[in-house]
Amino acid sequence: MRLGVPGTLMQCFEWWCFEILAIFAGMLSNSELAAQVAIINIITLLFMIPLGVQFAASSLVGIQIGAGNPLQAQKYAITSIAFALLAMGVLVAFCQYHEDFVARLFTDDPTTVSFIKTVLPLMSLYLMIDTVHGVQTGNVRGLGKQGPASMIILVCYYAFGVPLAIYLGFYRDWRLLGFWSGMLVAISISQILIAYLVMTADWNFIENGDVETKEVDDIELMRPIKQNSDKKDSIR
C-alpha cells in the first residue's frame, strides 16, 4: 500500500486533468468538445508505447537496484528513455505529416477537423515530453520514489496546469490552445522536478543497506521462465 497507492495516483492525477479539461471544453462549443475528445484519444493510443516501456523500466531498474548494481540500473533507465523517445518521435512525425488523415479518423465535420489540426502541434510537443515523463515514472517506481513523485504531479497539474489552462482558455480566449498550453506547462515543470528526483536519488541505497550484491544479467533474468517451461514440458 505504501508504494501501490502513490504509484496509482501518479497516473490518475494526470488522467483526471484530461477529464476536467474535457468538461471545460464542453463550455466552449460542441465542435471544440469533439476535438478535445479526439485529441485525448490520440494521446491515449500513442502513449501505449511509453507506458509499456515504463513497466519494463520499472522492472529492469528495480531488479538491478535490488541486486546492488546501480550502474546497470542507470543504463537501463537511460536506454528506456532513448528507445521511447525514438519510437514516439516517429509516431509524432507521422501525425504531423498526415494531420488531415489523423483528424478525419474521428470526424468529417470540417470545423472539428480544423480544431484538431490546430491543436496537433501542441499535442505533439506534449507527447514528446510526456514520453520522457512516462518512462521516468517507471524509473521512479524502480527506485521506490512513488510518494514524492505523486506529490510533484499533483502540485504541477492542479496548482499550475489546470488554473493556467482555464485562464488561457477562457480569459485570454485561446480556447483549446489555452487548455493544452496549460497542460504543456504542467508536464514540463513536473518532468524537470521528477528528473531531478531521479538524478539525486540514492541509487546505491540497497548496497548501503548491507545487502549482498551480485551480478544479474539477462540470462539469469530469463532462467525462471526457462525453468517453468521445462517443468511444463516434463508434465506433458
Write down the pLDDT at residue 143. 81
Write down the pLDDT at residue 222. 47
Q: Residues 62, 92: contact at Cβ < 8 Å?
A: no
Domain of 215, in residue numbers? 4-226
User: Cα 7 from chain centroid?
Assistant: 12
CA-to-CA separations, 209 to 62, 143, 150, 205, 212, in angstroms, rounded: 15, 14, 25, 6, 9
Q: Tell me if 232 is assigned to some domain.
A: no
Q: Residues 122, 43: contact at Cβ < 8 Å?
A: no
Q: Residues 94, 59: contact at Cβ < 8 Å?
A: no
Closest alpha carbon to 56 in 78, 28, 76: 76
Q: Residues 216, 63: contact at Cβ < 8 Å?
A: yes
Q: Tell me if 234 is assigned to some domain.
A: no
Q: How many domains are there within the chain?
A: 1
Q: Tell me if 207 is assigned to some domain.
A: yes
Write down the pLDDT at residue 211. 44
Q: Tens place of pLDDT for every residue, the chain, 236 residues? A: 666 787 788 888 888 998 999 999 999 999 999 999 999 999 999 999 998 998 888 888 888 888 888 889 889 989 999 999 999 999 999 999 999 999 999 999 999 999 999 999 999 999 999 999 889 888 888 788 888 999 999 999 999 999 999 999 999 999 999 999 999 999 999 999 999 998 888 777 654 544 444 444 554 554 555 555 555 555 55
Q: Tell me if 235 is assigned to some domain.
A: no
Helices of type H across the chain: 4-25, 30-46, 48-66, 70-97, 99-103, 110-143, 146-155, 162-166, 176-199, 205-208, 218-235
User: Which phi and psi (to 5°) does residue 129 adopt?
Assistant: -70, -40
Q: Tell me if 177 is assigned to some domain.
A: yes
Closest alpha carbon to 175 in 116, 96, 103, 104: 116
Q: Tell me if 122 is assigned to some domain.
A: yes
Q: State the pTM of this model.
A: 0.82
Write down the pLDDT at residue 78. 92
Sign of the four-CA dihedral 149, 194, 179, 31: negative
Write down the pLDDT at residue 22. 92
Q: Tell me if 86 is assigned to some domain.
A: yes
Q: Which three cell numbers stand for residue 31?
A: 465542435
